[in-house]
Amino acid sequence: MTEPNKTKKVFFHTLGCKLNFAETSYLGKMLIEKGYEKTKEEKQADIYIINTCSVTDVADHKCRQAVAHLHRQNPDARIIVTGCYAQLKPDEIIKLPGVDLVLGINEKLDIDKYVEEIESGNENHIQHTETQDIKDFYPSRSYDDRTRCFLKVQDGCDYYCTYCTIPYARGKSRSGSIEDIIKETHKAVEEGAKEVVITGVNIGDFGRGHGVKFIDLIKELEKTDGIDRYRISSIEPNLLSDEIIEFVSKSDKFAPHFHIPLQSGSNDVLKLMGRRYKRELFQHKIELIKQMIPNAFIGVDVIVGTRGETPEFFEDSKNFIESLPISQLHVFSYSERAGTKALQIPYIVSADEKKRRSAELHEISERKIKDFYQSHQGQKATVLWENTNKNGYMFGFTENYIRVTTPYDKTLVNTFQAVELGEFSDDKILSLKVKP
Ligand code: SF4
């Protein structure tokens, strides 16, 4: 029997969210175990794997661009496309010049088998499970500079917000067992992770089918030795229970950092979006966080220009957002997605108006984050240093997600350091200098 593909090199291109990056790490590990080699050199690759996103039209476009670009780099290399766009539009992708294989979300799990198949000549085809039949969950984790590990604990979503295609791509909400996630966390510790970011599509829905809830998971993680810092990634406001907030306020390990999607500060628009809360609930969560954890960082997602967002609704939303004691906004412009219910809403916001609204919210965000940073000058904090060297400076984050900078020192990389926070850095990257 011949040695299978010992020297074949695989180049990964990942688009979209941290979950996709975590999954790409998992795929890479599978292929390395089968004797493939990962490469960062595009031209040297024998196989390109593109893990796609489909959250907006722009994401779809980036995938098509990546296919064209990589096909030019090495026209003889195989191209495999997987991820959300591949799950939603496999027929569109297989027609792109150079694409050998389109793998759906479920089929990603068996990437090693499919790579071997195309290696032996079975090319230009689609392997795809209908989204409603996707039931498997596989844990995965990724490294960002080997400092922070993104740990996938949940996948899929049952919410069907009217503007969102994710449930059509990722399928039903499902998650790993607490035991399996603890095992993954131990592996992350062995590989050197210092901070774990708990990730998923709708992480607050963790535990469905296992008889447990997200709070049970974080209580167990707190007891796991070896990880000093956890962050909870984006969590739906209606699933961020008061109990979770109280737990974080008392925890030694869970960072005082929340990322909560509001999407609109107008109750009328929230209703059109099919969101499962009113702004009053959101306000309660923010006030509770600030009351229990005054120094908490709160990042908030907002979408501007959704169908039905009249100028009055936008003003109402903007004023509500302005009034909240939050730290930063992540502003997204609404993008029309085929097959979503939002397309039935007749009122359309023009592209220019979306831009204008986005600029207004960005301006609010810049003010809020600057205020947040300034209010921390002179305070003590613990920084986890990362391995970036930008013009002789390194960066890290405090427990409450303030970016901190100091002259680069290799010995600090991937370590925690107690510091005193100083002034704003001159650099364009928003950060506070460590007081010498
Ligand atoms: S909660 Fe809504 S916006 Fe978030 S993934 Fe689910 S359907 Fe999409």
Per residue in 131-169, pLDDT (tens digit) is 888 888 887 888 656 788 999 999 999 999 999 999 999
Give the Å distance between the CA of 261 and the centre of ligand 1. 10
What single letter denotes the amino acid at residue 132?
Q
pLDDT of residue 285: 98
What CATH code is assigned to 9-129? 3.40.50.12160
Which atom in ligand 1 lies closest to the alpha carbon of residue 275? 2
The mean of the pLDDT values for the chain is 92
Q: Which residues lie closer than 8 Å to 285 by C-beta, 6 or more apart?
A: 237, 240, 245, 260
Q: Whose CA is nearest to atom 4 of ligand 1?
A: 202
Q: Rounded to whole angstroms, how far apart are CA atoms 224 and 189?
A: 10
| Backbone Cα Rg of the chain | 22
Q: Rounded to whole angstroms, how far apart are CA atoms 384 and 403?
A: 10
Instruction: Find the residues whose C-beta lies inside 6 A of ligand 1.
Output: 157, 159-161, 164, 166-167, 201-202, 236
Picking from 50-59, 93-102, 320-329, which range would have the lowest pLDDT averaged per residue?
50-59
Q: Rounded to whole angstroms, how far apart are CA atoms 73 and 76?
A: 9
Give the Å distance between the CA of 240 and the centre of ligand 1. 15
pLDDT of residue 410: 95
- Per-residue b or e along 201-211, where b marks 16 or more CB atoms closer than 10 Å to that residue's CB: bbbbbbbbebe
Give the Å distance between the CA of 118 and the centre of ligand 1. 34
Give the Å distance between the CA of 205 and the centre of ligand 1. 11
What average pLDDT does range 417-434 have in this prediction?
A: 87
pLDDT of residue 145: 62
Chain length of the chain: 436
Give the Å distance between the CA of 60 and the centre of ligand 1. 18
Q: Residue 28 in 3-state DSSP?
A: helix
- For residue range 165-212, list pLDDT tens digits in order: 999 999 999 999 999 999 999 999 988 899 999 999 999 999 988 899
| pTM higher than the cut 0.75 | yes
Q: Which residues lie closer than 8 Å to 78 by C-beta, 6 or more apart?
A: 46, 47, 48, 100, 101, 115, 118, 119, 123
Picking from 15-29, 351-365, 387-401, which range would have the lowest pLDDT averaged per residue?
15-29
Q: Whose CA is nearest to atom 1 of ligand 1?
A: 159
Give the Å distance between the CA of 162 and the centre of ligand 1. 9
Percent of the chain past pLDDT 90, that is, above it, reads: 76
Q: Whose CA is nearest to atom 2 of ligand 1?
A: 161
Which atom in ligand 1 lies closest to the alpha carbon of residue 263? 3
pLDDT > 50? residue 330: yes
Q: Rounded to whole angstroms, how far apart are CA atoms 277 and 331?
A: 19
Task: Name the residue ranges covered by the structural domains of the chain.
Answer: 9-129, 140-374, 380-434
Q: Whose CA is nearest to atom 8 of ligand 1?
A: 164
pLDDT > 50? residue 396: yes
pLDDT > 50? residue 231: yes
> How far is the first Cα of the chain from the last one, in angstroms, to the nearest whole number?
63
Q: Rounded to whole angstroms, how far apart are CA atoms 217 and 153?
A: 9
The yes/no answer on whether domain 140-374 falls in CATH 3.80.30.20 is yes
Which of 54, 160, 164 maximizes ligand 1 atoms within 8 Å of its Cβ, making it the mutation to test the pocket? Answer: 164
Give the Å distance between the CA of 159 and the centre of ligand 1. 6
Which atom in ligand 1 lies closest to the alpha carbon of residue 160? 7
The answer to whether domain 9-129 and domain 140-374 are alike in fold is no
pLDDT > 80? residue 328: yes
Residue 365 parent element (H or E): helix 351-374
Give the pLDDT band (50/70/90) at residue 426: low
Picking from 59-73, 113-127, 176-190, 399-413, which range would have the lowest pLDDT averaged per residue?
113-127
- Classify residue 9 as exposed, middle or buried by CB count within 10 Å of its CB (0-12, 13-18, 19+): middle
**131 DSSP assignment:** G
